[in-house]
Amino acid sequence: MFKLRVPENIASIKCAHCGDDCPADHPVSDEKVFCCNGCQVIYTLLKDNGLGDYYNFTEKPGISRRSLAGKNYMFLEDEDVINNLLEFREEKRCKISFSLPQIHCASCIWLLENIGKLNSGIIGSRVNFLSKKATVSYEPSKITLRQVVEQLDAIGYPPELNLQKLTDSQSVSIDRALYYKLGLAGFSFGNIMLLSFPEYLGLEQASDHYYLGFISIILVIPVLFYSGFDYLRSAYWTLKMRQISIDIPIAIGMITLFLRSVYEIISKTGEGYLDSLAGFIFFLLIGKWFQQYTFYSISFDRNYKSYFPISALIRSGESWESRSLDKLSPGDIILVKNEEIIPGDAILLEGKATVDYSFVTGESALLKKSEGEKLFAGGKNIGANIQLQLIRKVDQSYLTKLWDEDAFSIDKEAKTQTLVAKTGKYFTITIMLVAAITLTYWLYIDKTIAFNAFTAVLIVACPCALALAIPFSYGNILRILGKKSFYLKNVQVIDRIQQVEEIIFDKTGTITDHKNIMATSDKDTISAKQNYLIKSTVFQSNHPLSKAIFQSLDGDFEMEPMFFNESPGMGIEAQFGEYNIKVGSQVFIYGPNGSQDDTGVFIEINGVVVAHFHMIHMFRPGVERLISTLGRSYKVSILSGDNDKEKARLKCFFPKNAAMIFNQSPHDKLNYIKARQYAGHKVMMIGDGLNDAGALKQSDVGIVISEDSNNFTPACDAILGADAFDHLLNYITFIRQSRWIIIGAFVLALLYNIVGLYFAVRGELSPVIAAILMPLSSITVMLYGLLTSNLVFKKYQ
């Protein structure tokens, strides 16, 4: 038996079974919870302090119950729950993802991504519209996790907290409240129409007809303030932050219809428009439900578990084997090399580690970690290899979500996105002006038409169709390409690929195959001890040349050096006991006096060069056809850190005017990309992500070629599986053609708004019909994007 853990301000617990109050410190068993009457409640979430699922709390005197009204977030004060829910936790920053099924339009995105304006403790928020999730970063010294959740609840987005995450199960969040609101609106709409039948049939008013209007008012009040509350609340918070959103004209339309109807019924000057108001909200909710149903059915959230081309080294007996991330489990011991991403939350088993969390936080400060400390997914190991034990199943969708966030972004313009943003910004203001002009005009011509026309204009014109054109059309393209091993960071990358004029290739590991590099040397001159030291040193590096040397050597090797450092584009050095080993280019070994004339990799032990490995590179299958074909439409160049010994082979399939630049350091590559951009060119860089991360980040589009290794580079915009390299031309062509899909979607949305407004301003469109057409336009654009993107891709398979 042990005592129930509850916050200090809790005085008693109400049993969910019998309703009696019990002391907060009453004893419970390990598997059951017993109340004072002996009731038994299965003990499932108690270990995670998810007590609100089974109990109602009674607070001690003087403690406010405001935040507990309706929902109980008290369990979010427990450290165990917090640690299990947070994706990242350090002293100055915490991160957590919430499922918010209430998200339904562009206004929701704006409100949630600007929630930091309501509380300075919230650092930032990023919304994934299609998966209806938001990632929130906050400063724990200013705001607690519970307060973050309560803030989201206050603005109308109570999170579906994924407590199942603690047992590694997956769940789909469904906004069940939507069904209740939809049912209430449908019930009231039908009954108000029934009460309005005498008016519809043109019958003379009965003596009690006046009272039927009051019944309609009673029926419509819960429809307005419950079923339509999300729109009213969103409009309120948007105005409070001094912004404009599409929910504002919708809310104005609702309130206008309600107030005008109540006035006409009470003053006996008319029948009102309560049937139109109830129908308007009912059909809005139907459209919202259909969008939600479509989100879950199509499942745009790319399932990287089956094909994301990243793996990790896992201990298997006395050896290490490569295993894809989806096959890793809690308890597995993995090896993370220098510059590799930590794939999942884990415990550092031995020694010390230096971790760069800039992928997660955007801050480049390095953190020192000691044996036994927890390391979070997304951190990058800097230095010697480290061994970790996973404590949670690897969530690849979390890595891709980090990839899509702003930590590694620079100002890469996406013209289509910019156009949509500008259009949405002024659209609502324009519609409100048109509605005001329509109301003024009809008040002088025919007052019976004025309010219907005013409301219809506010409702029928909606920028959501424009806003959904890109996420649905391009979102489906992301999914299609992902199935073909070409993974784009986000939809903005598609837009930037369409603008590319110049393509620059790295050589080693990009147009040459990592797995087909042969390292040869005179092994007879290498002693057993030297063989051991060389193999131990190159094992620490993820570079393809290091891997080739490692594979060429037999025998055992040491896992943990006393010191390790890797100089990008130059070489590596390590210390094992009294031995200092350097492996790298001639310049790296001999210093500035060395030259790049002699190819291969040199080995130095304690200041003496003991070996020289010659490297034989093999080109990837299909590279000749790919580059020669790309050369017809783009300016193609090669930018390599190696010497020019391969230049003659490369000239056989590169265009005659192609720039071939060798002996380039990572900094030289970065400067070359900048120079090309300064000259007005849109540049795509294709590399392996090892020595060209800066160039990939600087380029307008950076693509990494990924082999069977953890060389995931957050700075890139796309990842291409090595097995799909020869299909890159088809993928780029498909992406370029997809711009016509967006143009078609814009034309559809524009025609809808023009036609709808034409009838609305003329008073020929009732608010109910407008409410049907509004979600219908979004659904049409959504289905158009899905169908056309699938049809176009079939042409390039």
Highest mean pLDDT among 71-80, 210-219, 287-296, 666-675: 666-675
What the block records as the tokens of 700 is: 């307008």
For the stretch 320-332, pLDDT in tens is 787 777 778 888 8
* Inter-residue contact 112 to 137 (CB < 8 Å): no
Determine the pLDDT at residue 486.
87
Cα dihedral value 179, 181, 183, 189, nearest 10: -150
For the stretch 144-195, pLDDT in tens is 998 999 888 888 888 876 544 434 434 444 567 788 898 999 899 888 888 8
* Inter-residue contact 429 to 337 (CB < 8 Å): no
Mean pLDDT computed over 341-356: 84
What is the C-alpha to C-alpha distance for residues 429 and 694, in angstroms, rounded to an integer? Answer: 42
In the numeric block, the tokens 């590399």 are attached to 687
Residue 62 has pLDDT above 60, yes or no: no
Burial class (CB in 10 A: 0-12, 13-18, 19+), 632: exposed
List of residues 6+ apart from 343 with CB closer than 8 A: 310, 312, 325, 328, 334, 377, 394, 396, 399, 710
Residue 101 has pLDDT above 90, yes or no: no
Burial class (CB in 10 A: 0-12, 13-18, 19+), 660: middle
Measure the CA angle with vertex 54, ends 49 and 57; round to 5°. 80
pTM of the shown model: 0.61
Helix 209-222 × helix 247-267 angle, to 10°: 160
Query: Mean of the per-residue pLDDT values for the chain?
Result: 75
What is the C-alpha to C-alpha distance for residues 528 and 788, in angstroms, rounded to an integer? Answer: 63
Residue 46 has pLDDT above 60, yes or no: no
- Taking only Cα atoms into account, the Rg of the chain, rounded to an integer number of angstroms, comes to 32
In the numeric block, the tokens 């004072």 are attached to 36
Residues paired with 686 in a beta bridge: 505, 703
For the stretch 543-601, pLDDT in tens is 778 888 888 888 888 777 888 888 877 889 999 989 999 998 888 888 766 555 556 78
Determine the pLDDT at residue 47.
34
What the block records as the tokens of 478 is: 């992301």
Highest mean pLDDT among 117-121, 454-458, 578-582: 578-582
Give the DSSP H or E segment for 602.
Answer: strand 601-605
For the stretch 683-722, pLDDT in tens is 999 987 767 778 888 899 999 887 755 556 667 888 888 8
* Inter-residue contact 356 to 380 (CB < 8 Å): yes
What is the C-alpha to C-alpha distance for residues 223 and 221, in angstroms, rounded to an integer? Answer: 5
Tell me the H-state helices in 739-766.
739-761
Residue 502 has pLDDT above 90, yes or no: yes
* Inter-residue contact 97 to 133 (CB < 8 Å): yes
- Give how far the C-alpha of residue 406 lies from the chain's centroid of Cα atoms, to the nearest Å: 10
What the block records as the tokens of 150 is: 């309560």
Sheet holding 366-370, edge to edge: 366-370, 352-356, 380-381
Which of 550, 557, 636 lies closest to 601, judged by CA?
Answer: 550
What is the C-alpha to C-alpha distance for residues 351 and 365, in angstroms, rounded to an integer? Answer: 20
| Confidence band of 138 (pLDDT split at 50, 70, 90) | very high
| Confidence band of 23 (pLDDT split at 50, 70, 90) | low
Which of 306, 310, 307 lies closest to 704, judged by CA?
Answer: 310
Residue 350 has pLDDT above 90, yes or no: no
Measure the CA angle with vertex 563, ends 562 and 566; round to 5°. 150
Q: What are phi and psi of 623, to 5 degrees?
A: -65, -35
What is the C-alpha to C-alpha distance for residues 571 and 664, in angstroms, rounded to an integer? Answer: 14
What is the C-alpha to C-alpha distance for residues 142 and 140, in angstroms, rounded to an integer? Answer: 5
| Confidence band of 484 (pLDDT split at 50, 70, 90) | confident
Residues paired with 425 in a beta bridge: none
Residue 756 has pLDDT above 80, yes or no: yes
Mean pLDDT computed over 32-48: 38
* Inter-residue contact 95 to 135 (CB < 8 Å): yes
List of residues 6+ apart from 259 with CB closer than 8 A: none
What the block records as the tokens of 401 is: 């979500």
Measured in residues, the chain has a length of 797
Residue 495 has pLDDT above 50, yes or no: yes
| Confidence band of 426 (pLDDT split at 50, 70, 90) | confident
* Inter-residue contact 535 to 547 (CB < 8 Å): no
What is the C-alpha to C-alpha distance for residues 550 and 363, in angstroms, rounded to an integer? Answer: 34
Q: Is residue 159 helix, strand or coil? A: coil
What the block records as the tokens of 12 is: 């008693």
Determine the pLDDT at residue 514.
65
Residues paired with 386 in a beta bridge: 336
Mean pLDDT computed over 92-97: 87
What the block records as the tokens of 258 is: 């309600």
* Inter-residue contact 499 to 682 (CB < 8 Å): yes
Highest mean pLDDT among 387-396, 583-592, 671-680: 671-680
What is the C-alpha to C-alpha distance for residues 281 and 275, in angstroms, rounded to an integer? Answer: 10
C-alpha dist (Å) from residue 375 to 380, 399, 677:
10, 14, 38
What is the C-alpha to C-alpha distance for residues 516 and 514, in angstroms, rounded to an integer? Answer: 6
Beta-carbon neighbour count of residue 352 at 10 Å? 13
Which residue type does 619 have?
Answer: F
Range with the poorest average pLDDT among 119-123, 325-329, 443-447, 520-524 = 520-524
Tell me the H-state helices in 407-527.
415-445, 447-460, 464-483, 491-497
Burial class (CB in 10 A: 0-12, 13-18, 19+), 368: exposed
Q: Is residue 751 helix, strand or coil? A: helix
- Compute the half-sphere exposure of residue 35: CA atoms within 13 Å on the CB side of its CA: 19
| Confidence band of 425 (pLDDT split at 50, 70, 90) | low
Q: Is residue 391 helix, strand or coil? A: coil
Mean pLDDT computed over 112-138: 84
Mean pLDDT computed over 509-513: 80
Residues paired with 605 in a beta bridge: 581, 608
Give the DSSP H or E segment for 216.
Answer: helix 209-222
In the numeric block, the tokens 């199960």 are attached to 169
Residues paired with 684 in a beta bridge: 503, 701
pLDDT more than 70, % of the chain: 72
For the stretch 639-665, pLDDT in tens is 888 777 778 888 888 888 888 988 888
Residue 38 has pLDDT above 80, yes or no: no
Strands (E), 220-332: 311-316, 319-324
Determine the pLDDT at residue 166.
39
Which of 735, 690, 693, 738 lies closest to 717, judged by CA?
Answer: 693
Sheet holding 122-128, edge to edge: 88-89, 94-99, 133-138, 122-128
What is the C-alpha to C-alpha distance for residues 191 and 183, in angstroms, rounded to an integer? Answer: 12
